[in-house]
Chains A and B, each alone.
Chain A
Amino acid sequence: MTYFRDVGALARKDLLLELRARDTLPAMLLFVAAVFVVFHFALPGTPSRLETTGLLWVAILFTALLGLGRAFVPEREQRTLDGLVLAPCDRSAIWLAKSLATLAFLAAAEVVALPLYALFFHRVSGAMVLAVVLADLGICAVGTFLGAMAVATRARDLLLPLLFLPLAIPIVVGAVGASVITPPGRYLGFLALYDLLFAVVCWASFEYVVSE
């Protein structure tokens, strides 16, 4: 159980930092609102529910990228990553804690984004909310992992979207399918499977990303 205590402590540290500095979450909130407004002007006329669903997922993905890009950058800049790696805990705990913290930011952004979507475009169905929850898990698990990889490179966070988007395509397929097709069971199951599969891969291989 010390593993989960470590994870809890590390995640609490990230949340506390965000609470004090407040630089990631407000940026994500403003970004998602701005993206909706841009989309309104980018789609002439009255867009159908199908079109706006696709748009919602593009907005969520890009907002997530914004948060994911920030996840490991401060650790690198302030050279705290070495300290984390040296801490007497399993290395995968670092990944899990970061994923949880990013998940919290993304969920907070979506708590605002989904009502805003309903206000601007079309109503949000229950299946859509479920899809958002399942997709968030996958986005944060894979995205945080790739974020840690990206900060180890010279290109830093420039590389993250390139690494992440090909891996996010199955998430988009599952999420959009669950949002527009009834019954959404198959797509939700696919999302859950994706989450499970990639969470295991990330959990098992994170050690190699942070250590040499």
Chain B
Amino acid sequence: MSVAPATIRAVGRTPRISLTTLAVSSLVLVTTALALVFFVAPNDANQGFSQRIFYFHVSIAITAYACFAGGAWNAFRHLWKRDPRADLQSYVCVHQGLIFGTLVLLTGSIWAKISWGRWWLWSSDQLVLFLVLFLFYCAYFMLRYSVDPGPQRANLSAVYALFGVVLIPVSFAAIRLAKDIIHPVVFTLHGPNFGGWILVTYCVAQVAMLVLAYTLYRLELSGKRLDSRVRELKEVLA
């Protein structure tokens, strides 16, 4: 009874978009988003030109949340279903999340400097939350690289990644409770100033960031898998 390995792989794999297609579409989307942000979206009445960073700041923040959620979901899959691929997927998700989280801190900081004249504002919920998450997920990396590769490392990383998704809403509530001044809300989803080109630009920027994150995720994942394959082969040859 011999089944061709190719058949098994074909059954086990869901059809996926190729990396090249993803790379091209993220390039197109990011370029479109940049063009829309700089040339099409109208100037904000209160904040003027500088408000345009908001399109990227918000969409990057949501992308980072999506990455952290993906990391936790894969961690859950690792613990629950014992899916052998889930550990690496969870790690790569968290890694992308940390990169996008750092970008949130950077863009938020630039925005705070232009709008309020200071590089850091404790009154901005989103920034403080991302600082807490930044510290939390940096500790994730410290944890992961302090354990030898193996089932224990996978378990510890997965459990800590799951703590992350519990921490996000709890920290958000805590920061809301902690602050005494209300952060000016420039742009609410229901406000009259949200519509037309603003909405279109925001949506394009959001999709662009999500596709970019997914492309980077796939790229890193395939790199890491190749890496471990090469290591396995070397061990076999040695």
Contact = CB atoms under 8 A, between A and B. Distances in A.
B59 to A, nearest CB: 25
A208 B177 contact: no
Nearest to B138: A162
Contact of B132 (A155, A169, A201, A211): A169
A166 B159 contact: no
A212 interface: yes
Interface string A180-212: 000000110010001001100100010011011
A116 interface: no
Given A153-B143, A163-B139, A190 B177 contact: yes
Interface residues of B, number: 31
B49 interface: no
Interface in A89-104: none
A20 interface: no
The size class of the interface chain A forms with chain B is: 20 to 34
A208 B75 CA distance: 12
A194 B172 CA distance: 12
> In terms of DSSP, what is the predominant structure of the interface of chain B?
helix
Interface in B187-202: none
Nearest to A194: B170
Interface in A13-72: none
Contacts, number: 81
B60 to A, nearest CB: 21
B148 to A, nearest CB: 8
Contact of A197 (B143, B160, B170): B170
Interface stretch (A80-88, A123-131, A170-178): A170-178
B171 interface: yes
A196 to B, nearest CB: 11
B146 A167 contact: no
Q: Max chain A CB contacts within 10 Å: which of B133, B136, B139, B158?
A: B139
Contact of A166 (B139, B146, B150, B175): B139
A132 interface: no
A79 interface: no
B171 A170 contact: yes
B155 interface: yes
Interface string B74-98: 0000010000000000000000000
Given A163-B139, A166-B135, A173 B177 contact: yes
B156 A167 contact: no
Interface of B: 79, 132-133, 135-136, 138-139, 142-143, 146-148, 150-152, 155-156, 158-160, 162-163, 166-167, 170-171, 173-175, 177-178
Interface of A: 149, 152-155, 159, 162-163, 165-167, 169-170, 173-174, 177, 186-187, 190, 194, 197-198, 201, 205, 208-209, 211-212
List 5 tightest A-B contacts by C-beta distance, closest first.
A170-B174, A153-B146, A166-B136, A173-B174, A208-B155
15 contacts: A149-B160, A152-B156, A153-B146, A153-B147, A153-B156, A166-B132, A166-B135, A167-B167, A169-B174, A170-B173, A174-B174, A190-B174, A197-B170, A209-B156, A212-B152
